[in-house]
Amino acid sequence: MLKKTFLAPAKINLCLHVLGRLESGYHQLAMAMQRVDLYDDIQIQLGGLPGTRVVCSGAKLLEGEENIAAQAARLFLEETRIDIGIDIEIHKRIPIAAGLGGGSSDAATVLLGLNEMSGEKLSREKLQVLGGKLGADVPFFVFQHPAWATGIGTRLEALAVLPEVAYLLINPGIAVSTAEVYRSLQLTKGGELANLPRFSVVSREDLRAALYNDLELVTLRRFPVIAKIKQILLDQGALGSLMSGSGATVFGVFADIATASRVGKKLAAENGWWVYPVRPL
């Protein structure tokens, strides 16, 4: 039996524009995404009994066939026509329903891991296509690069230059339903991607100016603590702050990881929030 452990990183949205609703039920998006060094551990073992099994420690997740990691494994087997037993063990560190893409990252990491362990059966482009069948954020994690994402989030263009910063992630312990946030969103934009300013970020000031999230107002109405966290981060010297995805995680932008860590310790002690200083990937 072959066994290997892979790291599944979290992501943050540096900006998120919702341009309209599509007939498919998905939304037309334009967003900048970046992976950060907060990881779930994904252990994959090939061999043993037939079938795909997933267990998860560190969080309450759907286990077995309905887990998105199991779906990813099954999809990979169907595409490659490999007949082998797969056991997956997930150790969660990324909060669930937090706007950090943990489930999508787990699924992408299973696709990448199985591809590596089976001798690179599929191209990166094909893995992205498979990922799109599992969820709109999965192709981004297969892409493995900061990206400007359009369409439903699956059309990806690499962002070549981003400033050197650190981020402080804060979650007040609230789980947010992405589907419910999108259902509550009042769309006001005309749906024209060309009308958006180009995401061109070189300096820290450029990054601060680019921070934007159309979903923030919806989640703020339900959870005012998010606005409080944003303001506290700014008061503690963050260069900018934003809610990631549909929330409820908020991040602050800091010049270096030492400053982010110092502020994180202070805010965790004072408020009991989950905090995690991270570097961009």
What's the pLDDT tens digit per position in 42-73? 999 998 788 888 988 766 655 544 689 999 99
Share the mean pLDDT of the chain.
89
137 classed as catalytic: yes
**Which stretches does DSSP call E strand in 172-246?**
212-213, 240-243
User: Would you place residue 167 in the very low, low, confident or very high pLDDT band (cuts 50, 70, 90)?
Assistant: very high
Q: Two tokens at 72?
A: 């990813």
What's the pLDDT tens digit per position in 73-130? 999 999 999 889 999 999 999 998 899 999 999 999 999 999 999 998 899 999 999 9
Integer angstrom CA distances of residue 164 from 39, 66, 167, 204, 278? 20, 39, 10, 8, 12
* DSSP assigned state of 198: P
Q: What is the pTM of this model?
A: 0.91
Of 40, 87, 106, 137, catalytic:
137
Strands 2-21 and 212-213 turn out to be: parallel
Q: Two tokens at 261?
A: 């860590």
Sequence letter at residue 249: T
Domains and CATH numbers, the chain: 2-158 (3.30.230.10), 166-278 (3.30.70.890)
Between 189 and 164, whose confidence is greater? Answer: 164
Distance CA 58, CA 68 (A): 16
Residue 187's pLDDT is 58
4 classed as catalytic: no
